[in-house]
Amino acid sequence: MQTKEKPIGVFDSGLGGLTVVKKLIEQLPNEDIVYFGDTARVPYGDRSRETILEYTRQDMAFLLSQDVKAVCIACNTADSMARTEMEKLYTLPIVGAVLPAAKTAVRVTLNRKIGVIGTHATVASGAYKNSIASLDPACTVYSVACPLLVPLVEEGRFHKGDAVTESVLADYLAPLREKGIDTIILGCTHYPLLYDMVASLLPGVFIICSGFASVDYLKNELAGRNLLNDRQTPGKTHFFVSDAPEKFAANASLFLGRPIGGQVKKVSVGQGVCD
């Protein structure tokens, strides 16, 4: 098999990375995709840096065992904490969400006041603040950790009108609105499902979905390396998880916009499969 015919690997701590898979299928319909959701250890957002590094090494090793040609880290926490270390270990293209989203934010902001919402680990890492500062030191970044959003989204509570989620989100976004931001980065791949709520709470603010920005970045990276699959038939997506494949399959449609049935396989990362 030629390298360009190999699949693209995508991993996340759970379901959120499926928003990236959906965008990949739209942008690169002829590519095969291997998705791994570390559902046994979700969420990553409240773990230590050492733990996140170890989990990311294992996630990467599993995807490499599937002979992927590139990896998209569809987890802002893993990207912010571990991508640089992974790039030292591997030569294949590794694309995260932080830098692509930061570049987009710097490009579109008019008043140079940028908000970021994400997990505790993503915010604490300073990854977005540092990336934006390296691109445009005149920008001011205001970050808010939102630990309750991932559990709410994974419970399907992301539709406009959900009083609990709207109340929680309004509380998180209030300080950003007070700062007068004109751009916000949704720094978690679960958050695109909250796009409409964010838009209603921050009218007129430009919203960037970090995972979507990463897909554009990956597409350009593959094209630059002559790794785009040039076949004319639709690609296939293979799903793997570390726990509860039935639950994953049942909830995946919320993120993908279509059912995936019983196509999910369980693997045991950290116990020989990807060490």
- Report, as residue numbers or ranges, the catalytic residues: 75, 188
Among candidates 36, 37, 28, 35, which has minimal Cα distance to 4? 28
DSSP code of residue 258: S
Question: What count of Cα atoms within 13 Å lies in the side-chain half-sphere of residue 139?
Answer: 30
3-state helix, strand, coil in the chain (%, to 5): 50, 15, 35
- Residue 28 backbone phi and psi in degrees, to 5: -130, 70
In sequence order, which residues have a C-beta less than 8 Å from that of residue 273 and are 6 or more positions away?
Answer: 62, 65, 267
CA distance 42 to 36: 12
DSSP code of residue 41: S
DSSP code of residue 3: G
CA distance 148 to 159: 15
Is the distance from CB of 271 to CB of 246 less than 8 angstroms? no
CA distance 101 to 239: 26
Is the distance from CB of 94 to CB of 32 less than 8 angstroms? no
CA distance 260 to 258: 7
